[in-house]
Amino acid sequence: MAAGGDVVLLDYGTDDDVGDLSGPLSHAGLVRRRIEGRWPDP
C-alpha cells in the first residue's frame, strides 16, 4: 500500500498500544502497525 507513495492517516488519538487500556485506541495507529507488519504481534 505505502510502496506506491506516502500514506497519510488522520486520527484524533495516537494510542496504538493494544496493551494500554488507559485510553481509546487510535484506528490510524492500528492501521499503521498493520502496514508495518507490527500488528497483530508476530
If you search the block for the grid coordinates 497519510, which residue do you land on?
8
For residue 42, whether the previous peptide bond is cis, meaning omega lies within 30 degrees of 0, is: no
Give a yes or no: residue 28 inside a domain: yes
- State the residue range of the domain holding 22: 2-35
**What is the tens place of the pLDDT at every residue in 1-42?**
557 788 888 898 889 998 899 999 999 999 988 888 988 876
Give a yes or no: residue 27 inside a domain: yes
Number of domains in the chain: 1
Give a yes or no: residue 42 inside a domain: no
